[in-house]
């Protein structure tokens, strides 16, 4: 696991967006796995600026989102499809037909999950998966106790998650407690993973993910098993890490190697 600790959240967004731009430059027809939530917002804004400047194009890219609320359609402002269309894709030169989000209004959720897995496989698998992390260590909507080998399926949201996401819903508005989510096994199949975490509220989850045991109690700890995961955090999110000096030295070494490679 590569752990990159940066002074503040703006630097996290710049670093993460550069990872995605590099991926698309290496392979213009990349399949990207995308996340919602507040964590990747600044990264998406940076991508949109880079795209507007003409320094990257998403015209051949296809995307698969991690998850969607069961019961919310694409026109619902709190649905992840709505978020992606209005907040992310509208700023990129991407073909909307090549963007995929699980269907929150599907009639047969179990079949829809299987079909989602099949579409990822048909697209050739995910080249780069972007992730945030929940305060309870979830990735996508894989709540604590999720099988580390799980595939796309219906999950019941934990009380913590429902409470954390309540801020997006109006008082009295229906807030789903079920979601369709890629499984941890689906996420681990991605060739490269980039996870972002900012702010002190994420520090316990970051500690458990990076330095805790590999356990279904912290679904993100499964990333310790993945051969190419980069965790990008700001200093507040890194606050509880014990081996900060080691991560900083490793990153210096990594930057030196990358610089030597370029030069």
Positions marked catalytic: 67, 136, 138, 143
| Among 238, 67, 199, 40, residue whose Cα is nearest residue 139 | 67
Q: What are the E-state strand segments in the chain?
A: 2-6, 31-34, 62-65, 67-69, 99-100, 128-131, 153-156, 178-181, 192-197, 229-234
| Minimum distance, C-beta of residue 19 to ligand GLP, in the bound complex (Å) | 17
The DSSP line for 187-233 is: HHTSSEEEEEE-SGGGHHHHHHHHHS-S-TTSGGGGGGG-TTEEEEE
Cβ distance to ligand GLP smaller for residue 43 or 62: 43
Q: Is 101 helix (H, G, I), strand (E, B) or coil?
A: coil
The nearer residue to ligand GLP, 18 or 177, going by C-beta atoms, is 177
Q: How far is the CB of 124 from ligand GLP (least distance, A)?
A: 23
Among 24, 21, 76, which residue's Cα sits nearest to residue 50?
A: 21
Residue 134 makes contact with ligand GLP by CB under 6 A? yes
Assess 37 for contact with ligand GLP (CB under 6 A). Answer: yes
Q: Write out the binding residues for ligand GLP, residues 38-57 only, by CB under 6 A.
A: 38-39
Measured from the CB atom, the residue of 38 and 90 that comes closer to ligand GLP is: 38
| Residues 139-158: x where in contact with ligand GLP by CB under 6 A, - otherwise, as a string | -xx-----------------
**Where along the sequence are the contacts to ligand GLP (CB under 6 A)?**
35-39, 66-67, 132-134, 140-141, 161, 165
């Amino acid at each position: 696991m590569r752990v990159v600790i940066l002074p503040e959240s703006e630097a996290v967004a710049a670093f993460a967006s550069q990872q995605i731009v590099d991926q698309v430059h290496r392979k213009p027809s990349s399949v990207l796995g995308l996340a919602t939530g507040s964590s990747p917002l600044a990264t998406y804004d940076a991508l949109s600026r880079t795209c507007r400047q003409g320094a990257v194009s998403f015209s051949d890219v296809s995307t698969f989102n991690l998850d969607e609320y069961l019961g919310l359609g694409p026109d619902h402002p709190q649905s992840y499809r709505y978020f992606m269309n209005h907040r992310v894709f509208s700023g990129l030169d991407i073909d909307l037909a090549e963007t995929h989000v699980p269907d929150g209004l599907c009639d047969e959720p179990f079949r829809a999950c299987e079909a989602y897995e099949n579409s990822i496989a048909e697209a050739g698998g995910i080249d780069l998966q972007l992730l945030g992390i929940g305060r309870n260590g979830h990735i996508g909507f894989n709540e604590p106790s999720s099988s580390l080998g799980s595939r796309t399926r219906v999950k019941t949201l934990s009380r913590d998650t429902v409470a954390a996401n309540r801020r997006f819903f109006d008082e009295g508005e229906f807030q789903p407690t079920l979601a369709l989510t890629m499984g941890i096994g689906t996420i681990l199949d991605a060739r490269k993973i980039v996870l972002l975490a900012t702010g002190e509220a994420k520090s316990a989850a970051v500690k458990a993910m990076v330095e805790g045991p590999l356990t279904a109690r912290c679904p993100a700890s499964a990333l310790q098993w993945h051969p190419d995961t980069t965790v990008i955090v700001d200093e507040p999110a890194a606050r509880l890490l014990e081996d900060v000096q080691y991560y900083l030295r490793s990153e210096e070494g990594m930057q030196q190697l990358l610089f030597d490679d370029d030069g």
